[in-house]
C-alpha cells in the first residue's frame, strides 16, 4: 500500500495528514473495487417492466435475482416466487435481450447469462469511477484546509512557532500532491480494467496518469483493481 514520507517535517499536523491521506487511498481502493460491471447490468435487469393481468409488473415482483461473483461474474440466478410464472419470466427476459438461459438446481430456479457490456454500460462504469475519483480529490482538499486552519489558530494562540508551520505546510503540500497523483492513477487502473480498449484518453492529465500506472509502485493496485 502507499505510504508517505515525512522527511521535510514530522510535526503532528503533517503526521495527521499523512495518516488521513493513506486511509483515503485505502478507502478509494475499496470503492473502486466495488464498481462491478455485472452489478450495473443487473440494475438495468431489475427495472424490466411488463404487463400481467392488466397491471404493470417488474421482474422483482415475481422473482428474486441472485448475483454471487464467487460463483459466476457472467450470470445471475433467478429464483421464482411461484412456479406458474416461470414461462412468463423467461419470455420477458428474452424480449429484453437476455437470450441465453440455462436450468437451475430445480424448476423454481434458472440462470440468465449477462450479455457483454454495451456502450451505455461502459459509459456508466466510467461515470462511477470519475465520481469516486472526484470525491477522493475533494476529501484530500478538505484535509488540507482543516490542517491549515488548525495551524493558523495554533500560531495565533502562540502554541507553535511560525517556522514550524512553514515546514509543516511544505510537508503537507507534498503529501497532498502525491496523494492526488495516486488517486488519479488508481482511477485510471480501474478504468483500464473495466473499459479496456474502449477507453478514450483526451486530457493531458489523463495521459500522465496512464503512463504513471505502469510504475512498479502500483503493482498492488493492479492486483486489486484488475480483477
Q: CB-based burial of residue 1 (10 Å sphere; 0-12 exposed, 13-18 middle, 19+ buried)?
A: exposed
Does the global pTM surpass 0.95?
A: no
Note whether 128 and 166 are same-domain residues: yes
Residues in the chain: 227
Range 86-102 average pLDDT: 92
- CATH number reported for the structural domain that contains residue 50 in this entry: 3.30.1360
Note whether 91 and 28 are same-domain residues: no
Residue 5 lies in a domain: no
Could you tell me if 184 and 205 are in contact, meaning their C-beta atoms sit under 8 angstroms apart?
A: yes
CA nearest neighbour of 58 among 43, 77, 76: 43
Q: CB-based burial of residue 42 (10 Å sphere; 0-12 exposed, 13-18 middle, 19+ buried)?
A: middle
pLDDT per position as a tens digit, 53-68 = 889 999 999 999 998 8
Question: What are the angstrom distances between the C-alpha of 48 and each of 51, 62, 111, 116, 192?
Answer: 11, 12, 16, 18, 30
Note whether 143 and 172 are same-domain residues: yes
d(CA 201, CA 191): 11
Q: What is the pLDDT of residue 72?
A: 80
Q: What is the pLDDT of residue 227?
A: 65
Residue 31 lies in a domain: yes
Say what percent of the chain tops pLDDT 90: 65
The values of phi and psi at residue 36, to 5°, are -100, 120
Higher pLDDT, 143 or 123: 143
Note whether 29 and 129 are same-domain residues: yes
- CATH number reported for the structural domain that contains residue 190 in this entry: 1.10.132
Amino acid at each position: 500500500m502507499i505510504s508517505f514520507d515525512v522527511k521535510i517535517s514530522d510535526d503532528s499536523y503533517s503526521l495527521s495528514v499523512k495518516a488521513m491521506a493513506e486511509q483515503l487511498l485505502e478507502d478509494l481502493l475499496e470503492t473502486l473495487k466495488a464498481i462491478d460491471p455485472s452489478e450495473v447490468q443487473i440494475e438495468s435487469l431489475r427495472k424490466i417492466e411488463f404487463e400481467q393481468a392488466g397491471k404493470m409488473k417488474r421482474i422483482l415482483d415475481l422473482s428474486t435475482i441472485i448475483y454471487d461473483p464467487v460463483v459466476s461474474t457472467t450470470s445471475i440466478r433467478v429464483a421464482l416466487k411461484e412456479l406458474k410464472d416461470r414461462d412468463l419470466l423467461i419470455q420477458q427476459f428474452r424480449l429484453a435481450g437476455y437470450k441465453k438461459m440455462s436450468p437451475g438446481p430445480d424448476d423454481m430456479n434458472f440462470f440468465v447469462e449477462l450479455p457483454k457490456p454495451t456502450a451505455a454500460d461502459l459509459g456508466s462504469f466510467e461515470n462511477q469511477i470519475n465520481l469516486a475519483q472526484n470525491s477522493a480529490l475533494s476529501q484530500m482538499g478538505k484535509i488540507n484546509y482543516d490542517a491549515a486552519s488548525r495551524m493558523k489558530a495554533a500560531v495565533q494562540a502562540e502554541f507553535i512557532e511560525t517556522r514550524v508551520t512553514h515546514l509543516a505546510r511544505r510537508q503537507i503540500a507534498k503529501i497532498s500532491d502525491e496523494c492526488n497523483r495516486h488517486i488519479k492513477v488508481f482511477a485510471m487502473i480501474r478504468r483500464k480494467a473495466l473499459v479496456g480498449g474502449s477507453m478514450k484518453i483526451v486530457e493531458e492529465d489523463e495521459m500522465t496518469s496512464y503512463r504513471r500506472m505502469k510504475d512498479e509502485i502500483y503493482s498492488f493496485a493492479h492486483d486489486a483493481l484488475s480483477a
